[in-house]
Amino acid sequence: MSTLHDLIFDYTLRNVALGGMLLGIVAGVLGAFAVLRRQALLGDTLSHAALPGICIAFMITGSRESLVLLIGAGIAGWIGTWILLRTVNATKLSEDTMLGVVLSVFFGVGILLLTYIQQTNNANQAGLDKYLFGQAASLIAKDVATFAILGIASLSAVFVFYKEFKLLSFDPEFLASLGLPVRRLDLALTSLLVVAVMIGLQTVGVVLMAAMVIGPGTAARQWTDNLRTMLVLSGIFGGLAGLIGAVVSVQANRLPTGPSIILALTVIVMASILFAPEHGIIADWWRSRTRRESFKRALESGERP
């Protein structure tokens, strides 16, 4: 009851919990497509590519306003996405190779810019380094409202283009045969993932954001083979991890929120891998054991297995 009371009336906990839930839901739904397309590095790449955007936005404006920095992060992430897709389409380099290159180069530039800003003795630069690991406790109601607007817009786009994104994930060749712009849809889906990264930077930070993109979809995939169900479950798992991690971090001696959310997500992923009835390890073991026993009984009775 005390925790529920705090969730409703404690300003900090309410904002952290809502921010964590919004991040988990949006990153979970959009990250499910990355899981299906075997782009595990994509979330890591986009989050690291956002760092120089945060630094450049601060250098241009001199403001640490969350919306300003997130816009810079989104632009940098989108540029990284555009470079990635253009290079993969124009050269023989594999997508995994370019993901690693974009991640390293953009993150390296971001660290250099962050170091330069810290050496300028600008009083406003304090706190920029928190975007590396997140600082959910600094969330205010305006930040949560911004996250909600971005999240609703992203999920609405997924709803509108669901069929196209489904074909893009499972059969891009058929999508191209229908005359639809595969590259533009690919860029659009990845751009939506950039929005999820923007939401997560202040909550879990650049370093941990990849887990929020991949974890919920990985857990949901163990429970179902249906895409709609997977998207719903992925959003639920992500939102649940965000809520649990936020509550634990605030209630248990002020633990850092980002790692707490990731640990909660890890428990959900491991439980799904072990116990999910569709593709869980224990369920697969039980089905294999049942088939072996059935085959053995058929042989012993002389029946055709």
Q: Using one digit for the tens of pLDDT, what is the confidence trace for 39-57? A: 777 777 788 888 888 888 8
pLDDT digits (tens, 9 = 90+) for 2-21: 555 555 556 667 788 888 88
- Cα–Cα distance, 304 to 115 (Å, whole number): 72
- CA atoms within 13 A of residue 282's CA, in its CB half-sphere: 9
Cα 235 to Cα 46, 149, 150, 202: the distances in Å are: 20, 16, 15, 19
DSSP state of 92: S
Residue 94 structural domain: 2-301
CB 150 within 8 A of CB 19: no
Inform me whether the pLDDT recorded for 304 exceeds 70. no
Q: What pTM did the predictor assign?
A: 0.84
Domain count, the chain: 1
**Is residue 161 very low, low, confident or very high in pLDDT (cuts 50, 70, 90)?**
very high
pLDDT digits (tens, 9 = 90+) for 76-108: 888 888 888 788 778 877 777 887 888 888 888
- 130, with CB counted inside 10 A (0-12, 13-18, 19+), is middle
pLDDT digits (tens, 9 = 90+) for 110-129: 888 888 887 777 656 666 66
CATH of the domain at 100: 1.10.3470.10
